[in-house]
Amino acid sequence: MDAVGRLKEKGVKVVFVLGGPGSGKGTQCANIVRVFGFTHLSAGDLLRAEIKSGSENGTMIQNMIKEGKIVPSEVTIKLLEKAMLENGNDKFLIDGFPRNEENRAAFEEVTKIEPEFVLFFDCPEEEMERRLLGRNQGRDDDNIETIRKRFKVFLESSLPVVDYYNLKGKVRKVDAAKPIDDVFESVKVIFSNFSKKGA
């Protein structure tokens, strides 16, 4: 049985986590994992791990990133599928993916899975900028020009994905400008309701 069949058989439930850079996705994902028992998969982390592994696939990904190209959807989706199959859990938060409409369509096409819902961290640009500049975690991409470019990419590419799922009634929007604990209170309500529905 191929990966698709196995994921279906496993009854995998997926929640996409979207939000601009600095909207607090990582922090809240860690909370959701702790309280609701989901497994957190970050598309970026999986790609970085694949590059580190030194595999042929990893070398190809590294070269594409070096050349400023977008890694093909199929490559990222295969890594996500593999991670979901190798994990004993059946509830996954997928963070930072789909980045655009093409990613979204390819994910549903390849995995035959639609997300249960999309958790969207809505945060004003000024607030995200303030957080990113303040966090100084040694990420060399946290300077003002790069940050603004990342916002632009997010707005142009990822918001259409949010709009698409919004039309299907699948977006759960959270005001991410609030303090971390307040944001998690909102997140808890969403996930508690979801759990009640027999997830």
Q: Is 98 annotated as a binding residue?
A: yes
Q: 173: domain CATH number?
A: 3.40.50.300
Q: Is 6 annotated as a binding residue?
A: no
Residue 118 lies in a domain: yes
Q: Is 37 annotated as a binding residue?
A: no
Tokens representing 82 are: 């593999």
Q: Is 94 annotated as a binding residue?
A: no
40 vs 94: CA distance, rounded Å: 6
Q: Is 146 annotated as a binding residue?
A: no
Tens of pLDDT, residues 112-140: 899 999 999 998 888 888 888 886 655 55
Residue type, 141: D
Residue 191 lies in a domain: no
Q: Is 27 annotated as a binding residue?
A: yes
DSSP characters for 82-143?
HHHHHSS-SEEEEES---SHHHHHHHHHHH----SEEEEEE--HHHHHHHHHHH--S-TT-S
Q: Is 172 annotated as a binding residue?
A: no
Q: Is 25 annotated as a binding residue?
A: yes
Domain that holds residue 154: 3-186
Residue 71 lies in a domain: yes
Residue 198 lies in a domain: no
Residue 194 lies in a domain: no
Residue 197 lies in a domain: no
State the pLDDT confidence band at 69, using cuts at 50, 70 and 90.
confident
What is the arithmetic mean of pLDDT over 95-124? Answer: 92
Q: For the chain, how many structural domains are there in total?
A: 1
Residue 25 lies in a domain: yes
Tens of pLDDT, residues 13-38: 999 999 988 898 989 999 999 999 99
Q: Is 19 annotated as a binding residue?
A: no
CA 148 to chain centre: 20
Q: pTM, whole model, 2 decimals?
A: 0.87
